[in-house]
C-alpha cells in the first residue's frame, strides 16, 4: 500500500471519527431530553453513555489528526492514558446510576410515558451505527490499524446498547410493565462496565485478520 493510499484511508477514518463525535453529541442531547420528559431512565442512561463515547471518539480523532500532520508516534500517550482512565471512571459512575435508578424503578412500580422522540433516536441509531461500524472496520482492516479497529469496536458496542434500549421500550409499550425500563437499564449498565474495563486497560478488541 502506497503512502498516498495510507493517507487517504487515514483521512477517511478521521472523517468517520468526527462524524461519530457529532452524532453522539446530538444523540446524547435528544436521548437525555426525551428520557427525562417521559421518565425513561434507560434513555437517560443511553444519552449519558453517548456523551462519554464522544470523549473516546475525540481521542481517536486527535490521534489520527496527529498522524496526518506528521506528529511522532507516542506523543501525547500519557495524556491519552489519563483521559481514558477518567472515561473508565465515568462509565462506572454511569453504571452505578443506572443500577440505582433501575432498582428504585422496580420498587416504585411507576410506568414511564411513551416517548416518540426517544424511539426515533434509537431507530435512527440502529440504521446509522451498523453502517458506521462497517466503514470503520473496513478502513481499520485495510490499514491493519488497531486504533481504528478499536473505534469500530466501540461503535459495535453502542449498536448493541441501542438494540437493548429499544427492546426494553418496545416490551414496556407492549406489556405496560414499568419493570422493562429498569431491566433495560441494567443491561446498559452491564455494557457500561464492560466499556469501563476496556477504557481502563486502554484498548478495545475487534477481530482483525490484518496481515
Name the one residue in this structure whose C-alpha cell is 496481515.
211
Q: Which residue has the cell 435528544?
A: 30
- Whole-angstrom distance, CA of residue 14 vs CA of residue 57: 10
Q: What is the mean pLDDT of the chain?
A: 85
Which residue is it, cell 501525547? Answer: 76
Give the model confidence (pLDDT) of 64-110 as tens digits.
Answer: 898 888 876 665 667 667 777 887 888 899 899 989 988 987 887 66
Other residues' Cβ atoms within 10 Å of the Cβ of residue 141: 17
| Each residue's pLDDT tens digit, 107-123 | 876 667 888 999 999 99
Q: 145, 195 in Cβ contact below 8 A? A: no
Write down how long the chain is: 211
pLDDT in tens, 140-191: 999 988 878 888 888 888 888 899 899 988 888 888 887 888 888 899 999 8
HSE at residue 119, side-chain half, CA atoms within 13 A, is 12
Query: First vs last Cα of the chain: how many Å apart?
Result: 12
pLDDT on residue 22: 97
pTM of the model: 0.84
**Cβ contacts of 161 within 8 Å, gap of 6 or more:** 46, 49, 187, 188, 191
**Domains present along the chain, CATH in parentheses:** 3-201 (1.20.1510)
* Residue range 61-72, pLDDT digits in tens: 988 898 888 876
Residue tagged 483521559 (cell numbers) = 83
Amino acid at each position: 500500500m502506497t503512502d498516498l493510499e495510507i493517507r487517504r484511508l487515514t483521512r477517511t477514518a478521521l472523517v468517520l471519527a468526527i462524524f461519530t463525535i457529532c452524532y453522539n453529541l446530538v444523540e446524547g442531547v435528544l436521548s437525555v431530553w426525551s428520557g427525562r420528559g417521559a421518565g425513561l431512565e434507560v434513555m437517560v442512561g443511553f444519552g449519558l453513555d453517548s456523551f462519554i463515547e464522544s470523549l473516546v471518539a475525540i481521542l481517536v480523532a486527535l490521534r489520527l489528526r496527529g498522524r496526518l500532520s506528521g506528529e511522532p508516534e507516542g506523543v501525547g500517550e500519557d495524556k491519552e492514558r489519563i483521559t481514558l482512565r477518567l472515561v473508565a471512571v465515568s462509565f462506572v459512575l454511569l453504571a452505578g446510576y443506572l443500577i440505582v435508578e433501575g432498582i428504585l424503578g422496580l420498587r416504585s412500580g411507576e410506568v414511564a410515558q411513551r416517548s416518540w422522540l426517544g424511539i426515533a433516536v434509537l431507530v435512527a441509531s440502529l440504521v446509522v451505527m451498523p453502517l458506521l461500524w462497517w466503514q470503520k472496520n473496513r478502513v481499520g482492516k485495510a490499514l491493519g490499524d488497531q486504533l481504528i479497529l478499536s473505534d469500530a469496536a466501540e461503535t459495535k458496542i453502542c449498536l448493541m446498547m441501542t438494540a437493548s434500549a429499544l427492546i426494553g421500550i418496545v416490551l414496556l409499550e407492549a406489556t405496560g410493565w414499568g419493570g422493562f425500563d429498569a431491566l433495560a437499564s441494567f443491561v446498559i449498565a452491564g455494557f457500561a462496565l464492560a466499556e469501563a474495563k476496556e477504557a481502563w486497560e486502554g484498548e478495545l478488541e475487534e477481530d482483525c485478520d490484518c496481515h
